[in-house]
A and B are shown apart, each in its own frame.
Chain A
């Protein structure tokens, strides 16, 4: 390619216009900066892209993935161990990647959790409670360099931006009689009341209460009433439409950048959003001490250079790491020597599901309910909410009841002995579709010395640029955690008194399987920490290497939590945005001395 044409410099360039890109676009344009946001995918908005009833199309959105990143152009490669040859993730399965304005924030489920206080200071907490040797040597977990108390105002703000529905379990330190008793203290109630429980969740609620657990509404970024957020953006209430996860919301109810932040940015003269702009590298000055802008390929295939004083990297977790690797920023992690930090501590989430099959009198109606809406959960076995002394593992899982939709192609729940085809299958879909309910565990995954991200030596994207390579498989700690929490989950399901029940769970010997959708909650690779030797960014999401580069998203998580990550990553972004506003923009410099 020829030398990229140099465009007019701007104050800041944002790479990726999803949740954190939108948050930073607001912060920076509020401060008067001239900002360009580069989004690899197309422009998208509620209308016409998610218009009713065309959005209600499982094949187009749920299966073919209209809103997802087209893998043909770029994917990742996967291998289980350091010694294997990675092969491409050719078809969607294990996780789905966002694309376009709003990113995965368009087609997420909307479960909006905060991390537990214990999750943030994880290593210190575990070592203090169970002793220095409780954490096995291959486990490379570390504390987040920021506390729950510091993040709380930002969690609270983001929940208000999203019109989250829920009920507080701990208000200013007082554990309430409702809500999640295990959550960290909140400064305020949820902005909108909890949505009523769907039927599967009601049965779960009753069963768990009989067993002595207190279930509570899953915090849902689906407003339950018409609501105006702190930016003056109004949202509509959720009607449990069933088209949430993998879909854009036609009701303006599910929080997405489009329904919460972008409306106030639309007319800002100091913000320009360029879509179909594929960033290929971040540029550094000759001394390698500052970012000077980015290079991207526009929709006509032309390579352009956008100089900027400040670079905000706010793409999806994997893309953040890939771009840092491609740009030569920081030292790539070496799993053999343990040196380098870029790509380190890739983690995922542990998944398990018990399906309750009821008789035909029990009307589960799986198509009612959406994403996070109407779900109920228990948090007793998540994080370090229970004594691990005798468990021999770190972490846990949140257990929630109710499906994310009743989409018949993908979400048909049938007993495991059902034939996959023929007359018996046809009879089974009739018998079970309306009368089955999934109870799911979403479990923590710790980080390990041999689980990491790097550039693939062989495979490239459509421009010939190396793909990101994932080296990942499960460790015993996670199998043990899953077995323990799944037993609790199965006990509750038994109490729900279904006709039968079946559990899908990973056991030792089951390798990471990319064919089955599990979770898009991939984390790490550009983790945050206290110093350049243990992290890529500091507590304010600022790069240790280039102080005018900030990196946002779940790539910052040193290990993964047992919750959906959006609440935490948005909290970290607002925490950083606040520091930018009060300090960095006034005098750009390293915000933590290294």
Chain B
């Protein structure tokens, strides 16, 4: 290729880029609906908005401890650099004080604010279905009931050229669902529909529980999209389990009452929330009305997968018998006794809603080793909620156990008491060991 051609090609490329940027610019400008609405200071509307903000768990990203609520600043690591959540208080300079209702709706459901596309860390691809009356309530809440905070937004630490936002528009066009207010999906009863509205919408459950493809796009956003929908996904070093009723240990074995209890308190006789679900319980689902929580449980129980193995967990007393008679010869058994048994008990049954049972625990048995290994390394704390004021903490054992020992003890808990989790490899453990600090 001679210099002239190269120059020409570069020219074409630049022109193409300019066109692409222009299109994205126009696209962002054109996003959303041009509805106007000025909310009254109506207490009921504001209360509803406050409740919905909790369901949407806006605070999870937009509030950080020690700073005014919703003033942003939460650092979120992405593969291309850190981004920071923004100030969504009604501050006119740094917040969303100048947002019209249409601006607000555009950000919430379309992922466009200030004329450019938002990083999909903002789960607008889930919020897309929010009903207009609920968007209005949210708007009223953020406008009237949140205190303005004069705190500037932090710019992202993503280096150029990745810091250019215009490609996000294309991402959005390609992958984001077209925003449309929620309508009852066919075949659901009223309560299921109410649950689906939360699960698919403000609850944005799929953001963690549905796997993503290479473009970070959720593989499914609706129940009709197939088995990937809420089918379980690896999130950093944890595995967010499937929310479908599948084989043994899945939500199939949970009653709706147990599921409701879990949403409201983060714990039931089957398990205790860990990882980022703990935060979801603390900041969001514990506030769900009885009706919403029950409806959510009801809806999730309706998600059946074809892959339903008949086998259910059967407790095998032999692992415990061995430990109780002084036999810790099984791989990892002695490590279990020396690190885990004090709380989870030698019989693996734990203490209900205090220290979770490991026997028959879907997290322990999950195909993915992420959660069990990460919890051993990092520990976990149960969510504190208004109904469960006591918090139980498991300390991390990264300082005390070698990778090899973690592998052994993970395999012990995955294969004892009737558990049938696949083996954890040393590679898995090495990959999941947290970095220093």
Contact = CB atoms under 8 A, between A and B. Distances in A.
A51 B391 CA distance: 13
Contacts of A231: 389
A232 B351 contact: no
Interface in A63-97: none
A215 interface: no
Contact of A52 (B345, B381, B387, B395): B395
A259 interface: yes
Contact of B384 (A225, A236, A259, A263): A263
Given A241-B342, A251-B342, A235 B393 contact: no
A266 B343 contact: no
Contacts of A264: 389
Interface in A226-245: 226, 231-237, 239, 241
B392 A252 contact: yes
B389 A236 contact: no
B393 A47 contact: yes
B135 to A, nearest CB: 30
Contacts of B339: 53
A54 B390 CA distance: 21
B354 A252 contact: yes
A236 B400 CA distance: 24
Given A235-B390, A263-B389, A263-B390, A47 B352 contact: no
Given A47-B395, A52-B343, A241-B342, A226 B352 contact: yes
Given A51-B395, A232-B389, A250 B354 contact: no
Contacts of A250: 342-343
Interface string B201-228: 0000000000000000000000000000
Given A47-B381, A252-B392, A226 B353 contact: yes
Contacts of A464: none
Nearest to A52: B342
B15 to A, nearest CB: 59
A534 interface: no
B393 A46 contact: yes
A509 interface: no
Contact of A232 (B388, B391, B400): B388
A48 interface: yes
Contacts of B392: 234, 236, 252
Interface residue range, chain B: 20 to 34
Nearest to A250: B342
Most buried by A among B342, B355, B381, B389: B389
Contacts of A266: 384, 389
B391 A236 contact: no
Contact of B351 (A51, A233, A236): A236
A237 B392 CA distance: 13
A236 B395 contact: no
Contacts of A233: 389-390
Interface string B334-347: 00000100110100
Interface in B335-394: 339, 342-343, 345, 351-355, 381, 384, 387-393
Nearest to B346: A239
Given A236-B351, A239-B342, A263 B387 contact: no
Nearest to B352: A226
Contact of A226 (B351, B384, B391, B393): B351
Nearest to B351: A226
B393 A236 contact: no
Interface string A259-289: 1000110100000000000000000000000
Most buried by A among B342, B354, B400: B354
Most buried by A among B345, B351, B381, B395: B351
A264 B381 CA distance: 17
B391 A263 contact: yes
Contacts of A251: 342-343
A51 to B, nearest CB: 4
A252 B390 contact: yes
Contacts of B355: 236
A234 B393 contact: no
A233 B345 CA distance: 21
A259 B390 contact: yes
Contacts of B343: 52, 236, 250-251
A250 B394 CA distance: 10
A234 B388 CA distance: 7
A235 B389 CA distance: 11
B74 to A, nearest CB: 21
B395 to A, nearest CB: 4
Contacts of B381: 47
B353 A234 contact: yes
B366 to A, nearest CB: 25
A259 B388 CA distance: 12
Nearest to B391: A263
Given A234-B354, A236-B351, A237-B351, A48 B395 contact: yes
B92 to A, nearest CB: 28
B354 A235 contact: yes
Contacts of B393: 46-48, 51
Nearest to A264: B389
Contacts of A53: 339, 342, 400
A230 to B, nearest CB: 12
A259 B345 CA distance: 20
A360 B397 CA distance: 37
Nearest to B400: A53
Contacts of A51: 393, 395
A234 B390 CA distance: 6
Contacts of A48: 393, 395
Nearest to B396: A51
Contacts of A46: 393
B397 to A, nearest CB: 9
B106 to A, nearest CB: 36
A468 to B, nearest CB: 36
Contacts of B388: 232, 234
Nearest to B353: A234
B431 to A, nearest CB: 26
A231 B386 CA distance: 11
A223 to B, nearest CB: 10
A47 B381 CA distance: 9
A55 to B, nearest CB: 10
A52 B343 CA distance: 9
A109 B395 CA distance: 24
Interface string A278-306: 00000000000000000000000000000
Contacts of A239: 342, 345
Interface in A167-213: none
Interface in B387-429: 387-393, 395, 400
Nearest to B395: A51
B88 to A, nearest CB: 23
A226 B350 CA distance: 10
A248 B395 CA distance: 15
A222 to B, nearest CB: 13
A434 to B, nearest CB: 15
B116 to A, nearest CB: 38
A239 B345 CA distance: 9
B387 A232 contact: yes
Nearest to A239: B342
A455 B343 CA distance: 47
Contacts of B353: 226, 234
Given A47-B381, A53-B400, A264-B389, 20 more contacts: A47-B393, A47-B395, A48-B393, A48-B395, A51-B395, A53-B339, A53-B342, A225-B351, A226-B354, A232-B387, A233-B389, A234-B392, A236-B392, A237-B351, A237-B354, A250-B342, A252-B354, A252-B392, A263-B384, A266-B384
**Pairs of residues from A and B, 6 with the lowest C-beta to C-beta distance, nearest first:** A47-B393, A263-B389, A236-B354, A226-B351, A51-B395, A233-B390
22 contacts: A47-B381, A47-B393, A47-B395, A48-B393, A53-B339, A53-B342, A225-B351, A226-B351, A226-B352, A231-B389, A232-B388, A234-B353, A234-B392, A235-B390, A236-B343, A236-B351, A236-B354, A239-B342, A250-B342, A252-B392, A263-B384, A263-B391
